[in-house]
Each structure stands twice: as structure tokens, then as C-alpha cells.
Amino acid sequence: MKNRISRCIAQAKKNKQKLLCPFITAGYPSLSATKQLIRGFEAMGIPMLELGIPFSDPLADGPVIQETSFEALKKDVSIRECCKLVAQLRKEGCELPIIFFSYINPIVYMGYKEFAALLVRSGVDGVLCPDLPLGVEDHFPTLLRSCGISCIRLIAPNTTATRRAKIARDSDDFIYYVSRKGITGTQSSLSRGLKNEVQAIKRSTTKPVLVGFGISRKEHVREVLSVSDGAIIGSAILKVLKKQKRVSQALTFTKSLMQGIPK
């Protein structure tokens, strides 16, 4: 599969670069602000982005992402609106790889085929669905791949070794490792067993492992990247955006996180 994600991963591997991947909620505080953020991320050299589709019951997300999701839903930000935004960005020359982070309910409601077709027309590169069980609805990842869209899988700290190996095989381009049990959100320190857990995954795959949940400052980024291939940061960026109410402040904060990337 050759899309923007796979090209990004291949380039990072060739140049021995670590990846910093922001997560933002589409439509928070507005779709125009989301567009500005994406443009700003691309301009500063961010390699890849997770765009959260607002959902009314985001089980894996902490209070910051929940609140931003609810605010976006008040403005009727849907999958279709998110796709319109991505399509507009593509027409304007944006080549930043974009992964939709969506719970399964909105996708089922729309219909798998319509969802995949819409993503193709819009220029979305991948889908990360945290509540899509392995071995259930297997035709959905197959459908995505047939359309050139990556299906990214998650591994949690309590995932068994056997299941971990299966998920690693089934995940396209990279693996998202959830660094802690529970929900998203900032924290003062990372898991003590992070290094051993990432190494255990790497023993069962050659795919890059990106770590998310709880990363909130450049020291965390440096620590995560010392043992993994990439760091995913969401709540910390959205927290700044929520407090400061300015896109420029969120971009400045994200740029400060990049200081944790090893040279």
C-alpha cells in the first residue's frame, strides 16, 4: 500500500528520523481553526496528523478531548464536514498525511462502503478506530486497504503476547501503543515499564511503534522517542488551545514539543 502515510514512514526510516504526530479534534474550536492548525503543522514540519472525528461517547478519551468533541458536535461537525475540510486542504496543496481517529458507531451509521468512498474522494490516508475489535468486522479493514487507506491498530499494556502479535500483523504502516491503562489525558510521568513494553512489541514486528496517551511536554517526547519510533500528542495540545483560545498558541506549544525530538 502506497499512500502518504506509508511514504512518510518510509522516509523517516530512511533518514533515521523519529515521528511526532499531533492529535486534534476536528471542528474545535471551529473548522476554520482546524484548517489553520493543519496548515501550521505542515509548515513547521510535522510529519503526520490524527484528526479526531467528534463523537458523543468517546470511551477512550479523557476530559479534555471529550469536551472538545462535545463542543464540535454542538456545531454539527460530522464525518462529512471533516471530509469536506480535508478535500479543501488537498485542493490547496496540503500533502500532510491525515489519519481519521473515529469510533465505530458513526462509521456503521454511515455505512462502510460509503465511508471508504468518501475518504478516498477527500484524500484521507488512514483510519484509526479504537473500538474496532480484532477479528470482528474484518471486511472493514479489507475494504479500507482495497481503497488504498491504511487501517491502524492499537495495542494496550494489558494486551496478551499472542494477541499483540496478531494486532501487529493486522496494523498497516505502524502500531499505536497505548502507554497506560485508562483514558487519554496529560500526566506528570510516563509508565515505568514503557521501554520493556515497546521492546516486547518490536520483537513481534518490524513496523514502527508510535506511543500515545499522557505525553504532555518535550521531556516526555524525548523519553518516549528514546524507546519508540514516534510520539502521539493530543490532550496537551488541545488543553493549550482551550485555555489560550488562539491557534497560534497551540502551534507554538507544538513547536516546543518538537525540541524533544533527537537530532
Residue 132 in contact with residue 140, Cβ under 8 Å? yes
Residue 50 is among the residues annotated as catalytic for this protein: yes
Catalytic residue among 61, 125, 223, 229: 61
Closest-CA residue to 224 (of 181, 260, 171, 187)? 260
Q: At what angle do helices 112-122 and 139-146 cross, to 10 degrees?
A: 30
Sole residue written with cell 494486532: 167
Catalytic residue among 42, 50, 76, 137: 50
3-state secondary structure of 43: helix
DSSP, collapsed to helix, strand or coil, labels residue 224 as helix
Q: Does the annotation mark 61 as catalytic?
A: yes
User: Are 121 and 138 a contacting pair, CB within 8 Å?
Assistant: no
Q: Which residues pair with 100 in a beta bridge?
A: 51, 127
Grid cell locating 140: 472493514
Q: Which residues are catalytic?
A: 50, 61
